[in-house]
Amino acid sequence: MICQYEEVDKYLAEGAMVTIEMLDTAIKVATGFLLGSVLLYLYLRRSGAVAQRNRDDLDRRRLLLQQVSDQVGKVHHVYQQYLSLVVEYSRMGVNWPEYRRKELRKKTEELVAVFQELNAAQATLLLLGEKKLERALRVYGARIVAMRRLVSAEKLEFSGDELNELDDNKKEIQGLREAFYDSLSDRFMTSRQAA
C-alpha cells in the first residue's frame, strides 16, 4: 500500500508540475499577445496620423497651387485690359484721343502694381519646389514687361517692325500662359490623385 501511495504522490507531483509549466507557458503567451496587440494598436494609430498628415500636406499644397492660379489670373486680367488699349492705340496712332492715352497710362500703372501678385506666385512656387513652373511664370512676366516697354502713351505712332513685335509678343504671352496653366493643372491633378 505504501507503494501505491508513493505512486499516487509521484503521479500528483508530476501532474502539478505539468500544470505549473502549462500555467507559466499560458502566462507568457498571454503577455506576448497583449504586448503585440498594444504595439499593433500604436503602429496603426501612428500610421493613421502619418496618413492624415500627408493628406493635410497635399491639401495645403493644392490650396497654394490654386492661390498661384488666382494670382496669375489677376495679372492676366489686367494684362488683357492693357492689351486691348494697346491694340486700339497701335491701330489709331496719332489720331488716338488724349482721354484714351490717359486710360492707357492708368492701365500701365495698374499692370505694374499687379505684378506684386506675380512675384508672390513665383515665391509660392519656389517654396513648393516647383522651379520649372516658377521659371515659366518668370518668362511670362518678362514678356509682358517687354511689351510694356515697347508701348508708351507718349509715342505718336508705331513702325511696322514695332507692330510686328507687338503682335509676336501678344502671341508669345498667350502661349506662355497656356503652357503655364497646363503644367499647373498637371501638378494640381497629381496632388489631387495622391490625396
As given in the structure block, the three cell numbers for residue 89 are: 492705340
Q: What is the pLDDT of residues 52-63, one digit of tens each?
A: 777 888 888 889
What is the predicted pLDDT for the residue at 2? 57
Exposure b/e, 121-133, CB count within 10 A at least 16 = b: bbebbeebebeeb
pTM: 0.67
pLDDT reading at 85 higher than 80: yes
Mean pLDDT of 25-49: 78
Exposure b/e, 5-32, CB count within 10 A at least 16 = b: eeeeeeeeeeeeeeeeeeeeeeeeeeee
pLDDT reading at 121 higher than 90: yes
pLDDT reading at 193 higher than 60: no
What are the CB-based long-range contacts (under 8 Å, 24+) for 183-189? 183/132, 183/133, 183/136, 184/65, 184/68, 184/69, 184/133, 187/65, 187/130, 187/133, 188/62, 188/65, 188/66, 188/69
Confidence band of 117 (pLDDT split at 50, 70, 90): very high
Domains of the chain plus CATH, in order, are 58-194 (1.20.120)
